[in-house]
Amino acid sequence: MTLDEFFHQFLSDDAPASLVSHHRATGDFDVKTTEWEDTDNISKTRCISYSHPISTKISMAPAAGKATKSQVMQRFGDHGICIDSEIRTNDVPLADCFYIVDRLIVASNEEGGISLTIKFGTIFVKKTMFKSVINAASVNDVTEFHRGFVAFVRHNIS
């Protein structure tokens, strides 16, 4: 698969196997997205909003929380694509204490094909005694989402 093929299959606004459809496949609902909008010569931005089921059972936590994923995509010719995302959740206790960042890198291989690298982290903006609980839940949730996306990509390539 080439970089262009990956972009058109998984990342473009009209992608047949889009990242947005993966959100729906994982149980997110009320998923809405803006189209990619040019911000400069190599960058585009978009926003994905959705409701995400809360798997960690915390007292007073709702069954789902609204989330917003703001994304910046940069394309580096035929070398690679980098998408930086910032995910903020609302309607969940302590959601104002943190947000999630992730980076998806799609790089062309010299032998042909592409490699996919995903990194993420939890950014705390307020002190909370629940930091370890929030971090553990976030790591589990985000890891599950990204493992599922890799499987989703593999399934939709063949």
pLDDT value of residue 106: 96
* pTM, full prediction: 0.88
* pLDDT-above-90 percentage for the chain: 57
Q: Report pLDDT digits (tens) over 55-72.
A: 665 555 666 778 999 999
Report the amino acid identity of residue 25: A
- Among left, alpha and beta (phi > 0; psi -120 to 50; other), residue 51 is beta
Q: Is the pLDDT of residue 8 over 80?
A: yes
- Among left, alpha and beta (phi > 0; psi -120 to 50; other), residue 30 is left
Cα angle for residues 149, 113, 120 (degrees, 5° grid): 35
Structural domains of the chain in order of their starting residue, each with its CATH number? 3-157 (3.30.530)
pLDDT value of residue 57: 59
Q: Which residue has the higher pLDDT, 99 or 61?
A: 99
Q: Is the pLDDT of residue 92 over 90?
A: no
Q: Which residue has the higher pLDDT, 67 or 112?
A: 67
pLDDT value of residue 141: 87
Q: Tokens standing for 31? A: 């998923």
Tally of residues, the chain: 158
Euclidean distance between CA atoms 75 and 107, whole angstroms: 10
Q: Report pLDDT digits (tens) over 76-89.
A: 999 999 999 999 98
Q: Tokens standing for 102? A: 């992730």
